[in-house]
Structure 1
Amino acid sequence: MKKAWLILAALVAGLLLGAFTGDSVPLLTQAADVIGTWWLNGLRMTVIPLVVALLVTGIVQTANAASAGRTATRSVVTMLSILMLVTIMAAIVTPLLLDIFPTPSSSGYPGATSKVENPPPFAEFLKAMVSPNVFNSAVNDSLLPLIIFTIALAFAITRLEPAKKDVLARFFEAMGEAMVVVIGWVLWLAPLGVFALGITLGIAAGVQSFANLLHYVLIVASIGFIIMLSAYPVAFFGARFKPMAFVRAAIPAQSVAISTQSSLASLPAMVEGSKQLGVGARSTDIVLPMAVAIFRATSPAMNLAVAIYVAHWLGIEISVQQMAIGVGVAFITTLGSVSLPGTISFIAAIAPICMAMGIPLEPLGLLVAIETFPDIMRTVGNVTMDIAVTGTVARAEGDMK
């Protein structure tokens, strides 16, 4: 949390300095541009290997969980269904919110192009989904065919004999951990990088940039708030919990989530709340830990909302085809980012969505500085839905007291 507040302070300082000096100090403008570009490129260079490693690891872990028995299989199916539904919701609701409450300033991110190529004809798009050279796709940032290949590779790994499966699973797990270390090094320089990016944005947009960032927080957090609210109907109709009983049982876990921004730290409170609601030990011992390990109800929806917001900020019109790609990539990549720290998962989860949709990545370097605020809503929504889903599975499995 100290590092998060330090990064936020660097952003505010950079914005104020840029707004105050304008473009009257060319040396400052050039230095900020160089340093900011270096830092952004440091983040971008990890995206492709990290996505591949985490996606393989996430799919293997999910497949292992689903093979652990009927309760585990039902849990995985329920969780994946919810993830897809909330992602589609975000694709519909986020543009509506941006139409009703448009960005305060029309100033786009400096240096980022707001022009993207027109999407290819649908037949050409379908043919491009399967690449004859996956390495060429990686070099050209053609993320969709790379993700399709990675999914096929991950499922192929799950079909190998245990010894070989374990070797490959450990390899990709180790690669992912190594990339996380590299990102950690890059994020160690985040105060400097964000300060430089803040100067650049402050020069271009002035103090109005503060209003844009606040607007971003409210729009993205609203998607998480909707998902949190949707957990209550799931609890009422799926688990058949009494309304006020569920509200009271969820409050302790929500309080821990607000203070720690960690679903794992909230697990003991979630277990206790589930027991108060009559959920049996089998479900609290299996479903809740599985939810913390592989399920983040808010992640794909809020990640897609970030990408949509960036496009809106830059004046990019998102086609139906691009939105469909974004929904698919947001849904798939969330399987690989669930166990990462907030700032790392922000880049690892949202950069692939932007790349697949043809949206510039530059604004993500600034938005990571204020991720602390949407992340609170992410965690509250996650723990609330975790309890509701656990009750729903327990009710279906006859594991209610």
Structure 2
Amino acid sequence: MKRFSFSLQLLLGLVVGVALGFAARVWDLAWLSTTLTEVGKIFVQLLKLAVPPLVFTAVVVSVANLRNVNGAARLAGKTLLWFLATALIAVIVGIGLGLIINPGRGVTLATEGAKAPENVGTWVDFITGIVPTNIVTAFTELNVLQIVFLGVVLGAAAMAIGDRAEPFLNFSRSVLELVQKALWWVIRLAPIGTAGLIGKSVATYGWDLLAPLAKFSLGVYVGCFIVLLAVYPTLLAVVGKVNPVTFFRNAWPAIELAFVSRSSVGTLPLTQKVTIERLGVDRDYAAFAVPFGATTKMDGCASIYPALAAIFVAQVFNIPLGIGEYLLIAFVSVVGSAATAGLTGAIVMLTLTLSTLGLPLEGVGLLLAIDPILDMIRTATNVAGQIVVPVLVARSEGRIDEAVLNAPPQPLDEAPPVRVSTAPEPSPA
């Protein structure tokens, strides 16, 4: 397999998975469907197993090292502004597309049997998604935003007390390097995991579920492609002065893995790896921006999808929407996406949008059947945005290694382990 690049290995896994899933569905091979399901599930579990210690130690070490980095507050502010700006652009794309295609007009679905989901997003989730009520549950429930919060607090505390925190920081650096090494062994299994994940989706859902909701499904894919292939490349070329072809060539493994895994958190380790080692973004800054983006930067799940879905539900239930409602959709998408942190992102975000607009929550039940198919492109869009923003901010702050960015992409299976400095560099006089 070393003769093939990592991206090609993922692509081969994708093709094999589709073929096996199709075979399992056509010939009703239950054993094959079960095998694919278990292979994909184990791979995602292995990825998620490494995420808590990786994110926590990376943030702690990076915050402590920021005592010698100028403009840390400015970096955080720029990142947040770009998150908001790109989310606003994405939701405008979603609303505009919804007004053009009218995804719910002419759709005849039985709405009497539709049920509201048990877990409904609320604005309280926005707060509880950031501040943990229990340190242990933040790790056991894999709430990445809360883990980032704890890492920032402890890293800041270590920075404040100075040399007395050095034993803790040395321990954190050691754990970080150990986790990164073990994690790379897991990432090498991604082609096999890809085959299991995509095969399970094809075997379980097929494509026939798209027929009754073809216009809505097509709208979600078109909206995500507009953001992926038009909005992001334009921002990269005009604002960041980065060649979009170079960006996608370097970031593609993470975007591809996001598509098949349907998990921003599960893709986080590879997202961070390509952002640093292929796109040349400063490591200390990427340790903040990438994990933070994995929990709050969801242009696919929190902007495009809820905008189109809200228009769809309103049209199916014959409820008119005015300018005020469209502005409310934009507000919820831009401000409320953090409410999805640690939860079932798209569904919670959709229920939050519908409840804020006063639309029937039963409309969510109409879309659950095709959600796994739509979630693939939504997650790929999420992860692409989580890489685009750090690149834009790092470029504006002169924190991109041009040699790394413009070099031919190094095969990820040969990439050197991420090094962590044992002590912060002394600040220049």
Instruction: Tell me the equivalent position of 2:317.
Output: 314
Instruction: Tell me the equivalent position of 2:82.
Output: 78
Instruction: Tell me the equivalent position of 2:382.
Output: 382
Is residue 110 from structure 1 mapped to residue 111 from structure 2 by the alignment?
yes
Is residue 69 from structure 1 mapped to residue 73 from structure 2 by the alignment?
yes
Instruction: Tell me the equivalent position of 1:89.
Output: 93
Is residue 361 from structure 1 mapped to residue 361 from structure 2 by the alignment?
yes
Aligned pair in 2 of structure 1 residues 239, 352: CA closer, same or farther (>3 Å)?
A: same
Deviation per residue, 1:209-259 (Å, 9 max, x gap):
963323322122222222222222222223322232112112111211122
Aligned 8 A contact 1:307 1:354 in 2: yes
Instruction: Tell me the equivalent position of 1:170.
Output: 133
Aligned 8 A contact 1:262 1:379 in 2: yes
Aligned pair in 2 of structure 1 residues 270, 172: CA closer, same or farther (>3 Å)?
A: closer
Instruction: Tell me the equivalent position of 2:395.
Output: 395
Deviation per residue, 1:120-164 (Å, 9 max, x gap):
xxxxxxxxxxxxxxxxxxxxx9x9xx85xx69x959xx9xxxxxx
Which of residues 293, 296, 303 is equivalent to 1:294? Answer: 296
Instruction: Tell me the equivalent position of 1:241.
Output: 242
Aligned pair in 2 of structure 1 residues 267, 348: CA closer, same or farther (>3 Å)?
A: closer
Measure the CA separation in 2 of the matches of 1:238 and 1:266.
26
- Deviation, 1:112, is 8.4
Aligned 8 A contact 2:250 2:279 in 1: yes
Measure the CA separation in 2 of the matches of 1:102 and 1:357.
17
Aligned 8 A contact 2:264 2:294 in 1: yes
Measure the CA separation in 1 of the matches of 2:87 and 2:223.
13
- Deviation, 1:174, is 7.2
CA RMSD, 1 decimal: 3.9
1:2-401 pair list within 5 angstroms: 69-98=73-102, 103=105, 105-111=106-112, 147=123, 169-170=132-133, 211-229=211-229, 230-274=231-275, 275-298=277-300, 299-340=302-343, 344-401=344-401
Q: What's the TM-score, normalizing by structure 2?
A: 0.53
Measure the CA separation in 2 of the matches of 1:284 and 1:383.
14
Deviation per residue, 1:62-90 (Å, 9 max, x gap):
xxx9x973322221121122112322332
Unaligned runs of 5+ in 1: 10-64, 114-140, 159-165, 181-207
Instruction: Tell me the equivalent position of 1:192.
Output: none
Deviation per residue, 1:244-278 (Å, 9 max, x gap):
21121121112111221112232333333333233
Deviation per residue, 1:304-342 (Å, 9 max, x gap):
2111111122332211122222222233321110332xx
Measure the CA separation in 1 of the matches of 2:223 and 2:133.
35
Instruction: Tell me the equivalent position of 2:175.
Output: none
Aligned 8 A contact 2:217 2:374 in 1: yes
Aligned 8 A contact 1:296 1:338 in 2: no
Aligned pair in 2 of structure 1 residues 328, 69: CA closer, same or farther (>3 Å)?
A: same
Measure the CA separation in 1 of the matches of 2:378 and 2:136.
25
Q: What's the TM-score, normalizing by structure 1?
A: 0.56
Unaligned runs of 5+ in 2: 1-20, 26-62, 64-70, 115-119, 144-207, 402-429
Count of residues in correspondence between the two structures: 263
Aligned pair in 2 of structure 1 residues 283, 216: CA closer, same or farther (>3 Å)?
A: same
Aligned 8 A contact 2:127 2:339 in 1: no
Aligned pair in 2 of structure 1 residues 154, 364: CA closer, same or farther (>3 Å)?
A: closer
Consecutive aligned runs of 4 or more in structure 1 exceeding 6 Å deviation: 171-175
Aligned pair in 2 of structure 1 residues 356, 112: CA closer, same or farther (>3 Å)?
A: farther
Aligned 8 A contact 1:220 1:302 in 2: yes
